[in-house]
């Protein structure tokens, strides 16, 4: 691995950004949006006042393309450390946010300039120039292996408040981090789940996916679904390509749920219920339950949580203190599965669009798939009238035909 120094002014950084030479999407990087407004504003104040800003680290990857018969090299800088600084500088200059009202004034060449509450376009030109001319020190890493890159990232962030999952992503390896990131970008995760902004910043959405995979993984003896256990589980990915099957299965389950849930699901796709919901959807898929019918069940289960359904559930008995333990986790999964069984045991009509709802043999009821409507109960008046109806039965058309034939023969 080679480590080289280079320096860009903020203006040069924007030039590289415009050319597409800067990428913030290296797989083991944490998501953006980690800083609050005051932190962002202090950074901008540092640029205007020429205060030191920590160096940035980037992985340089060259790509050779042929242009007009000649080889042309394009270098892409994948930001490994410094993503928050660079994205916040970019966002301020592009007018995404105004500075915090408490941002201190800055002195430039003996003159004081106010910064508090201002947008970039509202700054005096001399202040804008101070930002654009600020020099950013960048360490460029070349010819680094994935293991070296992961180790650099881990060491750079070892003293910062990264979440367990953010550290786990660095340890699981670049290839696997990329595959998990693809799951995080699934439409279900982006549009239907109910992770809070803070949870996404802490990578709790990734944790929930790994919790689900860990429970499904028959080759892993998990003790609980805590962040520490997920951290340990993430490290088993590096040399285990058999987990491709798990990743693919989770993706299929999310495809199914994306069809089942039309809008954002505020209850069952919250972090605390996420693994149980995916595991129950997995069971529904195995039973060939149509997504729309699963959506019907989902609404019934939410009523059951409020004790407003005829199909009761003891799901909540396995929550509260110690809910991450294996016993309680399995208790919630089994309770959700039991409710699904109970619901479809008594709702075995054909699924919407003609896909049959299959229920295990021991769960099936004897009623036909599409039971005929029962006759309306007769009123007392009708019951009293029955003897007269029996006393004067209507003649059977077939019988009358036979009698007519006999009469003709006699004649």
Residues 66, 154 within the same domain: yes
Q: Tell me which residue range forms the domain holding 74.
A: 2-162
DSSP assignment of 196-246 equals -HHHHHTTHHHHHHHHHHHHH-TT---SB-SHHHHHHHHTTSTT-GGGHHH
| Among 369, 370, 365, CA closest to 341 | 365
C-alpha 363/C-alpha 59 separation (Å) is 57
Q: Tell me which H or E stretch contains 139.
A: strand 135-142
Residues 95, 196 within the same domain: no
Residues 116, 195 within the same domain: no
Q: Does any domain span residue 324?
A: yes
Angle of the 326-345 helix axis to the 291-305 helix axis, nearest 10: 120
- Give CA separation, 133 vs 15, 130, 223, in Å: 13, 5, 54
C-alpha 93/C-alpha 340 separation (Å) is 53
Residue 103 zone, left/alpha/beta (φ > 0; ψ -120 to 50; rest): beta
Tokens 């990087």 appear where?
Answer: 29
Residues 20, 71 within the same domain: yes
Residues 127, 230 within the same domain: no
Residues 233, 341 within the same domain: yes
Residues 72, 202 within the same domain: no
C-alpha 76/C-alpha 74 separation (Å) is 7
pLDDT along the chain (411 residues), means of 10: 89 92 71 75 94 90 75 84 90 95 90 94 95 94 73 66 61 78 93 87 87 94 90 81 89 97 94 96 96 96 94 92 90 96 77 38 40 48 46 45 38 27
Instruction: Quote the pLDDT of residue 359.
Output: 42
Q: Is 30 helix (H, G, I), strand (E, B) or coil?
A: coil
Q: Does any domain span residue 29?
A: yes
Residues 149, 194 within the same domain: no
Q: Does any domain span residue 349?
A: yes
Instruction: Quote the pLDDT of residue 74.
Output: 83
Q: Does any domain span residue 385?
A: no
Residues 11, 123 within the same domain: yes
Residues 268, 317 within the same domain: yes
Q: Does any domain span residue 172?
A: no
Residues 95, 231 within the same domain: no
When divided into structural domains, the chain yields a total of 2
Token readout for 136 is 């950013």
- Give CA separation, 295 vs 22, 254, 302, 324, in Å: 43, 13, 11, 27
Q: Does any domain span residue 170?
A: no
Residues 102, 225 within the same domain: no
Q: Does any domain span residue 241?
A: yes
Q: Does any domain span residue 405?
A: no
Give CA angle at 251 (245, 253), nearest 5°.
105
DSSP assignment of 251-297 equals HHHHHHHHHH-SS--TTTTSTTTHHHHHHHHHHHHHTT--HHHHHHH
Instruction: Quote the pLDDT of residue 397.
Output: 45
Token readout for 134 is 């600020």
């Amino acid at each position: 691995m080679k480590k080289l120094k280079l320096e860009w002014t903020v203006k040069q950084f924007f030039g590289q950004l415009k050319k597409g030479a800067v990428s913030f999407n290296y797989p083991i990087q944490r998501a953006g949006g980690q800083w609050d407004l005051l932190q962002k504003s202090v950074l901008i104040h540092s640029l205007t006042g020429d205060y030191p800003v920590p160096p940035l680290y980037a992985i340089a990857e060259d790509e050779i393309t042929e242009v007009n018969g000649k080889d042309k090299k394009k270098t892409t800088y994948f930001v490994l450390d410094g993503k928050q600084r660079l994205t916040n500088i970019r966002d301020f200059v592009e007018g995404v946010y105004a500075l915090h009202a408490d941002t201190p004034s800055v002195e430039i060449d003996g003159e004081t300039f106010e910064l508090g509450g201002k947008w970039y376009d509202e700054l005096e030109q001399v202040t804008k120039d101070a930002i654009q001319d600020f020099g950013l020190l960048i360490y460029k890493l070349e010819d680094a292996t994935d293991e070296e890159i992961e180790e650099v990232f881990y060491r750079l962030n070892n003293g910062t408040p990264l979440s367990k999952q953010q550290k786990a992503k660095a340890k699981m390896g670049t290839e696997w981090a990329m595959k998990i990131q693809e799951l995080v970008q699934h439409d279900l995760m982006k549009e239907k789940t109910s992770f809070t902004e803070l949870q996404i910043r802490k990578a709790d959405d990734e944790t929930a996916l790994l919790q689900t995979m860990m429970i499904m993984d028959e080759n892993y003896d998990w003790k609980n679904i805590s962040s520490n256990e997920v951290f340990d589980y993430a490290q088993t990915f590096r040399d285990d390509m058999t987990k491709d099957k798990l990743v693919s299965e989770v993706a299929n389950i999310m495809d199914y749920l994306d069809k089942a849930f039309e809008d954002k699901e505020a209850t069952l796709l919250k972090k605390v219920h996420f693994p149980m919901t995916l595991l129950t959807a997995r069971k529904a898929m195995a039973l060939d339950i149509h997504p729309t019918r699963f959506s019907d069940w989902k609404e019934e289960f939410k009523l059951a949580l409020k004790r407003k359904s005829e199909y009761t559930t003891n799901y909540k008995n396995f929550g509260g203190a110690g809910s991450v333990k294996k016993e309680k986790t399995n208790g919630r999964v089994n309770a959700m599965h039991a409710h699904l069984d109970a619901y479809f045991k008594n709702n075995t009509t054909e699924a919407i669009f003609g896909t049959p709802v299959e229920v295990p043999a021991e769960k099936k009821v004897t009623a036909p798939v599409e039971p005929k409507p029962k006759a309306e109960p007769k009123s007392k008046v009708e019951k009293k009238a029955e003897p007269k109806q029996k006393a004067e039965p209507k003649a059977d058309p077939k019988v009358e035909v036979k009698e007519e034939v006999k009469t003709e023969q006699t004649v």
